[in-house]
Structure 1
C-alpha cells in the first residue's frame, strides 16, 4: 500500500518513473475495459493510451481520502477515465460498425483467482457484446457491466433516459438471440 501511495504522489508531481510504474501495473485492466467498447486491439490500445494521458494530465485531481481503500479508489477513478476515453473515441468513430476478432494475447492478463472456465465464459460474452451495434454496446457496458443508472448513462452519452433503456432492452434481445443460436449450434455439433 505504501508503494502505491508513493506512485500516486509521484504521478501527481508528473514524475515519469511513477507514471511508468502506474502504467505497467494497470495497463492490462485499462485494456480490458477499453475492449468492451471498441472493435479492435489497435482501437483498445489507442483508448488506453488516451486514458493514461488524461490520467497523467489530471492526476492532481485524484484525492486519497482513505489510505486503507486507496487501491479500490484508484481503480474506480482509472475505470471512470478509461470509460470516458472510450466514449469520446466511440463518438468520433461511430460510423465504423465492423466487428473484428479479439487477439488471444489480450486475455493473458488474468485476474487473480480467475478459473479457466470463467475466462472462457468471459471471452465468449465479450465477443457477443462486441457484435452489438455501437449504441447498444455502449449502453449495455455502462449499465450491466459498469453499473451506471439510466439517468447517468443518458447524461454521459447525451441521450434521453428512455433511449438508454430502449438501447439496453434491444441489446439484451440481441444477446439472447445470439446465445440461443450459439447453444443450438453446440447441441447440433454434439449430435
Structure 2
C-alpha cells in the first residue's frame, strides 16, 4: 500500500474521524491529537503489509480494529514522551459529528459527555479506564503497555469507576434539585 497513494488517501479520508476520536480519548489538545493521528497513519501505511485478514466478510471490522490499535499505541507513545501528562484543550464541534456518522445525535452527545468526564480523571486512572472499558484491553495487556503491574491496572480502574460514579451521582442529585 506504500506505493499506492490514491488508496492511502481514500483510507485516510474514510477513517480519519474514527482515528481522531480514538486518539482524542488519550490526547486532549486538538492540534496534538491531529499530529498523533497523522503519525499513526504513517505507521499504518508503512506496516500495511503486516495486515492480514483471514475473514474477508469482516474486512472492515478487522481493519478498524487494527487502525484503533495503531492509534492507541501511537497515543500512548506520545503520552510516554510527555511523562503521561496529557495537554488539555478543546476539540472543535464538527469533529464529534464527523467521527462516527452511524451514531445518532443522542449517542454522540452521551459519548461526548462521557469523554468530557473521563478527561477530568487523574492521568493514570484515565488511561487505564480508556484502555479497559472503552478499548477492550485486558489488565495484562494494559500492564504490559504501560509498564505497571496488573494489580495497579485493576486498582486504577476501580478508582476511575469510583470517581465517575461519584460524579454521576452528584449530577443526578443536581438534576433532582433543579427539577423540584
- Give the alignment's TM-score, normalised by structure 2: 0.91
Of 102-111 and 135-144, the range deviating more from structure 2:
102-111
Q: Pick the aligned partner of 2:169 from 165, 180, 184.
A: 180
Q: Indicate if the aligned counterparts of 1:41 and 1:102 stay in contact, CA closer than 8 A.
A: yes
Q: Indicate if the aligned counterparts of 2:97 and 2:108 stay in contact, CA closer than 8 A.
A: no
In the TM superposition, 1:1-191 aligns within 5 A as 11=1, 13-94=2-83, 96=85, 99-109=88-98, 111-191=100-180
Cα distance in 2, alignment partners of residues 73 and 98 from structure 1: 31
**CA 43–184 in structure 1, closer or farther in 2 if over 3 Å, else same:** farther
Cα distance in 2, alignment partners of residues 178 and 140 from structure 1: 15
Cα distance in 2, alignment partners of residues 47 and 182 from structure 1: 33
Q: Indicate if the aligned counterparts of 2:8 and 2:45 stay in contact, CA closer than 8 A.
A: yes
Q: CA deviation at 1:73?
A: 1.3
Cα distance in 2, alignment partners of residues 96 and 153 from structure 1: 17
Q: CA deviation at 1:119?
A: 1.6
Cα distance in 2, alignment partners of residues 167 and 157 from structure 1: 12
**CA 97–184 in structure 1, closer or farther in 2 if over 3 Å, else same:** farther
Q: Deviations over 1:54-77 (max 9, x none)?
A: 111111111232222211111111
Cα distance in 1, alignment partners of residues 167 and 21 from structure 2: 22
Tell me how many residue pairs correspond in the alignment.
Answer: 180
RMSD: 1.7
Structure 2: 5+ residue stretches without partners: none
Cα distance in 2, alignment partners of residues 32 and 125 from structure 1: 13
Cα distance in 2, alignment partners of residues 95 and 22 from structure 1: 30
Q: CA deviation at 1:129?
A: 0.7
Q: Indicate if the aligned counterparts of 2:17 and 2:100 stay in contact, CA closer than 8 A.
A: no
Q: Deviations over 1:10-39 (max 9, x none)?
A: x2x431111111100100000000011112
